[in-house]
Homo-oligomer: A and B are copies of this chain.
Amino acid sequence: MLRTALSALLSLEDDIDVVGSAGDGLEGMELTRQLKPDVVIADIEMPKKTGLELANWIKDQKLATRVIIVTTFARSGYLRRALDAGVSGYLLKDSPGDVLPDAIRTVYNGGRTIDPELATQAWSEADPLTDRERQVLRLSAAGLTSSQIASKLNLNDGTVRNYISETISKLSANNRIDAARIARDKGWL
């Protein structure tokens, strides 16, 4: 719905043409390859392929296409990963409606547009979690007990508790629930 609505919004601008519209990340790649647009607008959380994967793919293919991420999530971890993937813009869905056309123009002319709210806190903290820790924390956040996580990952019960204990202290959280909440908020999960 947002997609069609944004198409409608952008069609009203004289200097912007909407050349295509994709329902998921994979379709997005396909269309980008075929149409070679100047600018791609993508969400992060999409079916099949995320917006970050799409951006990385565009970077790897060395296409001239620039990427603007438009997403719901004001998470510094997302922004950081997006910038690593070479995107030119990162906007929030709840920013005023007229910023998108402006952002497209800026980016088309080689500039960058980062949501001001996020730009400041972006480089404040790096993700301190290791892959294993993240993985364990994710399962824990899904409501599994330590032993369930252990058997799912073929680990020892105590090992899992160690990982969780590590994440709790790294994130200075109260407990595993708190740790998961903090990691999620920062975009580290």
Contacts and interface: CB of A to CB of B under 8 A. Distances in A.
Interface of A: 1-9, 12, 70, 72, 91-100, 140-145, 148, 173-182
Given A4-B9, A9-B5, A177 B97 contact: no
Contacts of A96: 1, 4
A2 to B, nearest CB: 5
B181 A2 contact: no
Count the copies: 2
A3 B97 contact: yes
Given A8-B9, A9-B8, A181-B142, A95 B1 contact: yes
B98 A177 contact: no
A1 B174 contact: no
A187 to B, nearest CB: 17
Contact of A143 (B94, B98, B178): B178
A29 B7 CA distance: 29
7 contacts: A1-B91, A5-B6, A5-B9, A143-B177, A145-B174, A145-B175, A177-B177
Contacts of A181: 141-143
Contact of A1 (B1, B94, B178, B182): B94
A176 B144 CA distance: 10
Contacts of A148: 174
Contacts of A144: 174, 178
Contacts of A180: 177
A132 B176 CA distance: 23
B175 A143 contact: yes
